[in-house]
Amino acid sequence: MAKIGIIAALDREINKYIADFSAERMDNGFMYAGSFAGHELYLTLCGVGKVNAAICTQRLIDLVHPDILLNSGVAGGVSDKLHICDLAISDSLTYHDFCPIDVLEKYAPGRSVFPADEKLIELAVRAANEYHKTEPHFRYLVGKIISGDQFIEDKQKVLAFRDTYNALCTEMEGAAVAHTAYANRVPFIVMRTISDNADENADMSFTEMAAIAAERVSFIVKEMIRLY
């Protein structure tokens, strides 16, 4: 039996897990506890942005000492190979709004890119392939996810992110979760379903597609837990 921490940023992301895992709010009021496939699950809502995500991740680690951390949710697409409702699986994460980024390499923590756990990447790929059997149009890619305290609605920024980082998608919490997990030596992975194209139409398409996107990534998370 493993202790698995699951972190999400928005209500629509965490509510599906609470229902699926029959999770109940713990006395600390900070997280929900449930079980699935013989594992203990601890679910928490971190809120939006890097600081919220880092605080939440550290608090979860301190309270329950999870064996692994999963951060799931939705993101704006950067790669032109991913479309709305496709899945980005992290092999690494970095910040796009930390300037200069090499400060993180010169000082603690000594790196600016945080690698996801290889075993969890393998499980995510297996789970994604399983979902593909039920939805042939579904696609996924493994690669870099970038984070910053910005909701991106600018096509030129997307093109710059593509050129500079070769990123799959951009969102607002993943790199902070990864940074904190790395500092605590907790294996982690970040997964994002593409809910919009991070361009001028982002606000409209996010509202319309986020619920569907969150539903898909919840399937992937459940299958990963089943396989773990």
Q: Which residues are catalytic?
A: 13, 196
In angstroms, the CA 56 to CA 13 distance is: 15
CB atoms within 10 A of CB 222: 17
Cβ contacts of residue 11 below 8 Å, gap of 6+?
45
Query: Which of 107-131 are b and which e, b meaning 16 or more Cβ less than 10 Å from the residue's Cβ?
Result: eeeeebbbebbeebbebbbebbeeb
Residues 6+ away with beta carbon under 8 Å from 38: 1
As a whole number of angstroms, the distance between CA 92 and CA 166 comes to 11
Contact predicate 101/179, CB 8 Å: no
Consecutive H or E run containing 95: strand 87-95
Q: Which residues contact 184 (CB under 8 A, 6 or more apart)?
A: 58, 61
Please report where in the chains the tokens 């698995």 appear, as a residue.
4
d(CA 45, CA 16): 12
